[in-house]
Amino acid sequence: MKTSFLKDTFLFSNIKNKNREAFLKAYDLYLDEIFRFVLFKVSSEEEAEDVTSQVFLRAWNHIQNDNDIDEETLRAWFYKIARNTVIDHYRYKNKTKNTVSTDEGETTINVPSAEDIFSDMAIKSEHELVMKKINGLKDEYKEVIIMRYVEELSIPEIAHILKKSKGNVRILTHRALRALKDLLES
Amino acid sequence: MTDKNLSQLLKEIGEVKPSVKWKEANRQILLSQINSGNFEAAKLNLSAKTRVAVDFIYNGFVKQLSQPVLATVLVFVLLAGGSLYSLSAASESTPGDSLYTAKIIGEKTQMALTFGDKNKTKLNIEFAENRVNELAKVLSDDSVNGEKKAKVEKLAGSFKKEIASVKHRIEKINADVKSEPIASEPTEGAVVAENEGDDLVFSANLGKGDDGLSISDSDTDKDKPAEEDNTATEPEAEIVELEIPELKTDTTTADIVKEGIAVQASSSDEAMETPQTKSQTIFDEAKQLLEEENYDAIIEKLDEVVSHVDSEVAQSKVEVKGVAGEAVEEEAIIDEGTVEDVAEEEVVEDTASSTLQ
């Protein structure tokens, strides 16, 4: 879903001034794509839901604590928070896993993978294949493929989220797409 | 799989959504967390509204527009600034300098971009002034003795051209004024003065000798008998009044035989010390007269400066043809006048012009 730039800017201006209604509107507007973005990075729908909930709560806390916001768009801001939340989620998960394995030995929880979720959602076989291949890419490529081609973020937005130069992002997306094609052809 | 297919597939993957049930449940949780007492309730008062508006306008419009606009403005500023800087750097140059061509091109551009005879006349006067300043610089510079003559000749030529342009323009302006019905009723005297003003160009031709100054007739009247002591054909016009005070101050010690155009001067060091300032003053007066649309008086002023420049050139002992040698009105002789004396020649010129009126 493409959100108009002015709508994004208007909501962002209001959110910076701690407007709850604006924040809820932003939640409705960006929930789906943040969820998808997270889903590609975590291994289950359940995890994706948890992480996505945390993303929005973190965003609100960030506003309430009067922290500086240097992102130019609301969308980029949510993506950045989502990225950090996923990283923190993995850190926490690793820590817990180590603790669990020490205490209880090998305990594996059977959670559905991203591909399983998509198959549940009646996705065509082609989509499923592409999904699998995207998940086979390295994280850096996976991320830009999702942002650039699935969610259609602009190059400057991605550059801002990843803290890279625009030229760098262009090269990265190009390489990522080529890598995905190679995987699909192999 | 083609690129188009792949990008289409990737877009379709973007249509995947979380379950509506979870979305609703999570919204409620978030709402309760936002509304819980942990967070300060945000009220949108007037100042907050203003902040929102300012933020929105800045991020939504100003910031977005400012980048391309800023870049364009910068390019223009650099281009214009660069050319202006070069021109200003060139303004002090003299012939032979690498930037002199830039200066001349700058002048030509300025002329091309100026409209109206009056404005163009003003520019011509300014450019003539530039030539005089350059001339003064070249003359005062002893390091370029070899090229001095060529430079002085070149500058004198350009100066003459500028003066000729001014005269041509003034003639044109006068012609236009006369063609207008309202302006067609000047007094007879004024008409005569105008006509004479158009044609008369007189100057000291100092290249001819060291011990005398001769003022010759203009091209068309060259065959007139020379050495007329008193050629006053008309009563002194009001224009002369402009010249008199200056004439007096410059020649306080000069022995002037006004009616006979014979001058014996002993000193006028003041004028010699600041020849450039003198020309400057004349140019300033000429510009002032242009503002007042007193065209005949401008001609007088220009003649004055032409003779002044001529004398400067002669003083420098550089053999250069008289700047306005071919365009003089009257011929007169200064008795025992020393050519080096600037003020002396001006007296001659001024007196000559006054007698012509």
Interface test with B, best of A20, A21, A50, A63 (most B CBs within 10 A): A20
Q: Is B10 on the interface with A (CB under 8 A)?
A: yes
CB contacts of A9 in chain B (<8 Å) are: 56, 59-60
Q: What is the pLDDT of residue B103?
A: 82
Distance between CA atoms of A24 and A30, rounded to whole angstroms?
A: 10
At A111, which amino acid appears? V
Say if the Cβ atoms of B29 and A49 lie within 8 Å: no
List, for chain A, all residue ranges whose pLDDT scores fall below the cut of 70.
1-3, 98-124
Q: What is the pLDDT of residue B274?
A: 54
Say if the Cβ atoms of A17 and B44 lie within 8 Å: yes
Say if the Cβ atoms of B11 and A149 lie within 8 Å: yes
Report ipTM (2 d.p.).
0.76
Alpha helices, DSSP H, located in chain B: 3-13, 20-35, 46-57, 63-90, 100-112, 117-140, 145-179, 188-199, 239-250, 269-273, 275-291, 295-315, 342-356
The pair of three-digit structure tokens given for residue B350, joined into one six-digit string:
């001024």
Q: What is the pLDDT of residue A170?
A: 96
Q: pLDDT tens, position by position, for chain B (357 residues)? A: 677 778 888 888 887 788 888 888 988 888 888 887 554 544 555 677 777 788 778 777 777 777 777 788 888 888 888 777 776 777 777 777 777 888 888 888 888 888 888 788 888 888 888 888 888 888 777 665 667 777 788 888 888 888 888 888 888 887 877 676 554 444 444 444 444 444 444 444 444 444 444 444 444 444 444 444 444 444 444 444 444 444 444 444 334 334 433 433 333 444 444 556 677 777 778 777 777 777 777 777 777 777 777 777 777 654 444 444 443 444 444 444 444 444 444 444 454 444 444
CB contacts of A13 in chain B (<8 Å) are: 52-53, 55-56, 59-60
Helix (H) or strand (E) holding B262: strand B262-264
Distance between CA atoms of B220 and B225, rounded to whole angstroms?
A: 13
Say if the Cβ atoms of B42 and A20 lie within 8 Å: yes
Q: Which of B7, B39, B51 sits opposite A17 (nearest CB)?
A: B51
Nearest CA in chain A to B26: A53
Largest CA distance in chain B: 119
Say if the Cβ atoms of B18 and A31 lie within 8 Å: yes
CB contacts of B44 in chain A (<8 Å) are: 17, 19
Q: Which of B1, B16, B30 sits opposite A27 (nearest CB)?
A: B30
Q: What is the pLDDT of residue A162?
A: 92
Q: What is the pLDDT of residue B143?
A: 65
Give the list of residues 6+ apart from residue B308 with CB closer than 8 angstroms, or none.
B275, B278, B279, B282, B342, B345, B346, B349
Say if the Cβ atoms of A53 and B6 lie within 8 Å: no
pTM over 0.80: no
CB contacts of B23 in chain A (<8 Å) are: 31
Cα A3 to chain centroid, rounded: 17
Q: What is the pLDDT of residue B44?
A: 52
